[in-house]
Amino acid sequence: MSLQIRVIAPDKIVWDANAEEIILPSSTGQLGILKGHSPLLTALDIGVMRVKINKEWQPIILLGGFAEVENNNITILVNGAETISEIDSTEAMNNLEQATNLLAEAKTNKEKIEATQNLRKAKAKVQAANVLNN
């Protein structure tokens, strides 16, 4: 028996597959789920969800949302998500640097909020690149 994982964004089903293990970016830290996990409802942060299929980890960038775990079924409702099969580590690091600079230059509250969100997304892409390259 394995975990049935569904990632649902407002406009599409991003992921619908079985997996051996999943690590979620919950709002309180990384949360690992194996088969037989107790029922759970948790808020998700912007970050990388790692899914283990056939002993290999696959990253998916989540843009916040909620996850429900029950009877080896994991339903993840997200504001947005990005599946990644390839990512350029150098480009991801450059984007992170640019996002850091934009946050430092932000003046209004709106600019700071947008820059913070972009920085978190850039960090998630660097983290996803690390998952793929290991």
Instruction: Show the beta-strand stretches assigned E in the chain.
Output: 3-8, 13-19, 21-26, 29-34, 40-53, 56-70, 73-78, 81-83
Instruction: Give pLDDT, residue 1.
Output: 52
DSSP-based helix, strand, coil % in the chain, nearest 5: 30, 45, 20
Give the Cα separation of 76 and 108 in Å (integer).
Answer: 33
- Greater confidence (114 vs 5) lies with 5
What are phi and psi for residue 106, nearest 5 degrees?
Answer: -65, 135
The whole-number average pLDDT for the span 1-26 is: 91
Q: Is the pTM of this model over 0.75?
A: yes
The whole-number average pLDDT for the span 121-126 is: 82
Query: Domains in the chain, start-ordered, CATH in brackets?
Result: 3-83 (2.60.15.10), 89-133 (1.10.287)
What mean pLDDT, rounded, does the chain reach? 87
The whole-number average pLDDT for the span 75-83 is: 89
114 DSSP β-pair partners? none
19-56 per-position pLDDT tens digit: 999 999 998 889 999 999 999 999 999 989 999 999 88
> Parallel, antiparallel, or unpaired: how do β-strands 73-78 and 3-8 relate?
parallel
